Amino acid sequence: MNPTIRDVAQAAGVGLATVSRVLNDSGYVRPETRERVLQACSDLGFVPSQLARSMVRRSTATIGLIVPDITNPFFPAITRGVEDAASEVGYTVFLCNTDNDPAMEALDVRKLRERRVDGIIFVGTTDRHELVTGLLAGEVPVVVTDRQLDDLDVDSVLVNNSLGAQAAVRHLIDLGHRRIAHAAGHPATRTGQDRLAGYQQALQEASIPYDPSLVVFGEYTLESGYAAAQILLGRAPRPTAVFAGNDLMAIGMLRAATEAGIAVPDELSVVGFDDIQMAALIHPALTTVRQPAYDMGRRAMTMLHERITGGIPAAGRRHIFQPELIVRRTTRRRD
Amino acid sequence: MNPTIRDVAQAAGVGLATVSRVLNDSGYVRPETRERVLQACSDLGFVPSQLARSMVRRSTATIGLIVPDITNPFFPAITRGVEDAASEVGYTVFLCNTDNDPAMEALDVRKLRERRVDGIIFVGTTDRHELVTGLLAGEVPVVVTDRQLDDLDVDSVLVNNSLGAQAAVRHLIDLGHRRIAHAAGHPATRTGQDRLAGYQQALQEASIPYDPSLVVFGEYTLESGYAAAQILLGRAPRPTAVFAGNDLMAIGMLRAATEAGIAVPDELSVVGFDDIQMAALIHPALTTVRQPAYDMGRRAMTMLHERITGGIPAAGRRHIFQPELIVRRTTRRRD
DNA sequence: CTCCTATGTGGAAACGGTTCCACATGCTTT
DNA sequence: AAAGCATGTGGAACCGTTTCCACATAGGAG
């Protein structure tokens, strides 16, 4: 059994309150007494119970991080950013995977509330407004990342998806492409909608008519990118370029193109979104739109911390990162 | 403020103990009473405090997962395995990144102990025996994954690294290679040592003399693979094949080879280790030795759970997975 | 010399649950 | 009729901290 503060007090020949004071560096303690207490602590191998502390302090120095799937290469970087920023302010993080399953999300939120986390960061989860509003109503600080909840007054860390998509498509247009397909993300996600909107916007600016038959929806997975490519590359005349909803889909499309004997970038240009580590490593290296995932994680955590420690106006704040086009080897001028 | 069990009791017109009983499905409660209590719970939006529960139950249904860096593509799969298995038995997991820094590890362990986790899973962390023995002495259940601590009686989930390395090198030998280099992992890690030993063993079986100048050590990173390649490909005569300590290093070597104008697999065969997702996606697709990361994570968690709930003999158990050679496109018969 | 303040210390209540024990009721068994 | 048991309920102690308050001492100010 773990020794308690009482054991320490007895061993050091002092009262409970005194031990607590040296542990927390609060109030007056004679240096000599402090020394005796510290000695007793290490003699007994005393490890204070954060549980007991949390009960009375009504805060746990703990946050919940809800991601769809840590195995998806976009999320580890965000997670790491959150973790690092959390560590710096003494917080520990609970990790939850939901697979975008609303039931799972609700379960995780419940678990986190029972554990009395000081706050929750949602990253790229389904848009279940009720969940978040419930949290907000219960006065649980929340930050949402990689997902825009428009009608909700919640702190968010976002990337300008529309702008990123525009940059990607403009790049293709600048290279002389006119027949540009889009393998979009899930239509129910704001992220997917915004990128699609950016795609349309860029086309419009270049006076290229929007052709719905060149847009197919997927689920941000490699497989759905592969499937989307099979449809899109079958269109006649075949598109000369394609903008994918994310890197994983782009890589799936690359694969489909290779199998179909379509050379990239010679016969087909491809642009992704995210700039996951893999993007630079595949062959040919993927042209993509970079999201600063690590920094987004960090920012989400610092925003959450500010919200937790108060002093922040009640209104939901938004931090919007600007995406950046990274030109590599999957795009090429059309001759 | 959150309503407490007392508020619920009052609202339902019953005693505290009764509320507790319906919450835990324990003891006798009249169905009608149960209904009233449940109603009061949802009326008040009552969320029980796991903190208070944990204090008296002396267990938190919480575990700590310590990984070097979630950003390293081998770890998300393990993490997911742990998480899934943990969820299934009602546990929540604290995630800690250490960057293999012993000081960070010690800090994280301390934090986890203060939080009174029911157990800790170490994955691929530095071999700080003192840390683990300290935990064991303090009767904190521990499982170690992806790291063999020989002289310690601790539960472990391992892969037969030596066997995997042998399979890789034998594959190269079967293809007619004789001058086979090894870009080894960090020499201080058991993993690195075992793979090196497997490499040597395979050479010996084929009566190929061991040439120390063909072995260079790295750190399991892409950069160190790149650096290792620069050294190894400079040896004369140039090796015709190389076995890398892990996939990341292999990919770094691929890159170095490409830059040096050495064609893979025509002029150089490369084998990796791990079979991270990326391995199948790069070009040419990487021949490698597969570790079942997700299953290793799952197994680690179930072992930990068995240890926590007791009934397991005191001796440290080992679960050893067999690695599997996956032949793709970076290896080729030498003509 | 008294009063006040700074310094130092200990006791007890509180945080929100679980669980042991006592007690009440209505049957069945001897 | 008394005893025993199954069912149903409530009170109080306890888990290990923090924190408020009371109290003690010593030195300086008036």
Band of residue A315 on the pLDDT scale cut at 50, 70, 90: confident
CA distance B308 to B89: 12
Is A137:A116 a contact under the CB 8 Å cutoff? no
> Residue B127: pLDDT above 80?
no
Q: Rounded mean pLDDT of chain A? A: 93
pLDDT value at position A57?
96
Q: What is the torsion angle, in degrees rounded to the nearest 10, for the CA atoms of residue A106, residue A107, residue A109 and residue A113?
A: 130
Work out the percent of chain B whose per-residue pLDDT is above 70: 99
Mean pLDDT of the region A118-130: 84
CA distance A247 to A231: 18
> Residue B294: pLDDT above 90?
yes
Nucleotide nearest to A16 (CA to C1'): C10
pLDDT value at position B329?
96
Give the range among A224-238, A289-303, B127-141 with minimum mean pLDDT: B127-141
Work out the percent of chain B whose per-residue pLDDT is above 90: 84
pLDDT value at position B135?
78
pLDDT value at position A147?
85
Band of residue B94 on the pLDDT scale cut at 50, 70, 90: very high
Q: Whole-model pTM?
A: 0.94
Is B118:B61 a contact under the CB 8 Å cutoff? yes
Q: Rounded mean pLDDT of chain B? A: 94
If contacts are CB pairs under 8 Å, which of residues 118-157 in chain A contact chain B? 138
pLDDT value at position B256?
95
Tokens 């006119």, residue? A178
> Residue B228: pLDDT above 90?
yes
Give B65-88 pLDDT, tens digit per residue.
Answer: 999 999 999 999 999 999 999 999
Residues of A in contact with B62 (CB under 8 A): 115
Residues of B in contact with A278 (CB under 8 A): 277-278, 281-282
Work out the percent of chain A whose per-residue pLDDT is above 70: 99
CA distance B122 to A134: 36
Facing residue for A95 by CB, picked from B83, B111, B282: B83
Distance A29 CA to C6 C1' (A): 13
Mean pLDDT of the region B138-151: 87
Give the range among A96-105, A146-155, B157-166, B251-260 with minimum mean pLDDT: A146-155
Q: Does A98 touch chain B (CB under 8 A)?
A: no
pLDDT value at position A137?
79
pLDDT value at position A139?
85
Q: Does B60 touch chain A (CB under 8 A)?
A: yes
> Residue A70: pLDDT above 90?
yes
Instruction: Give, as ranges, the nucleotides of chain C with any atom within 7 Å of a protein CB.
Output: 7-21
Facing residue for B79 by CB, picked from A70, A94, A110: A70
Nucleotide nearest to B9 (CA to C1'): D10
pLDDT value at position B313?
74
Mean pLDDT of the region B30-41: 94
Give A105-115 pLDDT, tens digit per residue.
Answer: 999 999 999 99
pLDDT value at position A69?
95
> Residue B314: pLDDT above 80?
no
> Residue B11: pLDDT above 80?
yes
Residues of A in contact with B283 (CB under 8 A): 282-284
Band of residue B150 on the pLDDT scale cut at 50, 70, 90: confident
Residues of B in contact with A283 (CB under 8 A): 282-284
Largest CA distance in chain B: 88
Band of residue B165 on the pLDDT scale cut at 50, 70, 90: very high
Burial class of residue A38 (count of CB atoms within 10 Å of its CB; 0-12, 13-18, 19+)? middle
Mean pLDDT of the region B245-271: 95
